């Protein structure tokens, strides 16, 4: 089964660019996410981390 898929994909012209594009998207996403975490304001992090402990939203249920 894997041999069939591998041989079929080898016959497609220009397919070698897709793994490179996928790797770049993956890498860029995590670099941007890391940059956002490092530069986030500490006040915002504290406020967001306390959301699950906030009891004011119990009226919704």
The answer to whether residue 24 sits within a structural domain is yes
- pLDDT value of residue 24: 97
- Asked whether residue 11 is assigned to any structural domain, the reply reads no
3-class SS at 54?
Answer: coil
CA–CA separation, 39 and 24 (whole Å): 22
C-alpha R_g of the chain = 22
What pLDDT does 38 receive? 92
The reported pLDDT for the residue numbered 45 is 86
pLDDT one digit per residue (tens) for the chain, 61 residues: 677 777 777 788 888 898 899 999 999 999 999 999 999 898 988 888 888 777 765 555 4
Provide the domain count of the chain. 1
pTM: 0.58
Domain-embedded: residue 36: yes
Domain that holds residue 31: 17-51
């Amino acid at each position: 089964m894997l041999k069939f898929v591998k041989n079929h994909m080898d016959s497609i012209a220009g397919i070698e660019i897709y793994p490179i594009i996928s790797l770049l998207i993956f890498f860029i996403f995590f670099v941007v996410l890391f940059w956002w975490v490092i530069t986030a304001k500490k006040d915002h992090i504290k406020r967001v981390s306390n959301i699950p402990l906030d009891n004011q939203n119990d009226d919704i249920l």
